[in-house]
Amino acid sequence: MKKNLFALLVVLMLGWAAYASFFVAPTENTMGVIQRIFYLHMPSAIVAFCAFLVTFVANLLYVFRRQQRWDWLAVSAAEVGLAYITVVLITGPIWAHPVWGIWWTWDARLTSTFVLWLLYISYLLLRTLIEDPHRRALASAVYGIFAFLDVPLVHMSIRWWRTQHPQPVLMGGPGTGLDSRMKIVLLYSFIALLSLMIFLVRQRYELEAMRGQADVLRREAEAA
């Protein structure tokens, strides 16, 4: 019942965020209506970073405590984070094409984001290669800790290098900033997408816990 209520709340928040992105946020002067992709693209990127941070912390906790639940949380958040970063990699080129005249360029921001996507795909692939649950959890935890190092690199890439991707609009220093209505819509979208991330991680964690339960039952059935 609680789960259904939370799901309904998430759907309502997502609906409101989409409405606000189209009808509340003002049209940006230079890019026009295409800039509205920003309210899906940027919050998805931040939420993906949050999910990978959860994976990183859970990986560290697994390495130090060796409790299966941290491994379950790590893989759940990694998979959800991957879904979000996929959305970033799809919406980015759709926005870039009319504005830059190209779908893609290998600049520091785009390349490091693509590498991040590959790193977490590899994280999930690695888990399919190891049968023993404890070895699998440890190997993927160690790998996941190193994979997370790309997240700060992606974040800082537009500050450290000259890129085709725009400079930061929030906390980007003098000459940068957002209209107050744009900031509010951005915040709505972020909260809605973060809530969806929490919902998806919980659901994915439930699946992983059930897999653990099924493994125990399978072993019992084999032993009987």
By the criterion CB under 8 A, which residues form the site for other proteins? 14, 18, 21-22, 32-34, 36-37, 40-41, 44, 80, 83, 86-87, 90-91, 94-95, 97-98, 196, 200, 203-204, 206-207, 210-211, 213-214, 217-218, 220-221, 224
Judged by beta carbon, residue 114 or residue 138, the one nearer other proteins is 114
Judged by beta carbon, residue 88 or residue 108, the one nearer other proteins is 88
Q: How far is the CB of 199 from other proteins (least distance, A)?
A: 8
Q: How far is the CB of 35 from other proteins (least distance, A)?
A: 9
Q: How far is the CB of 149 from other proteins (least distance, A)?
A: 25
Q: How far is the CB of 87 from other proteins (least distance, A)?
A: 5
Dihedral (Cα; 191, 192, 194, 198), 10-degree rounding: 130
Judged by beta carbon, residue 5 or residue 224, the one nearer other proteins is 224
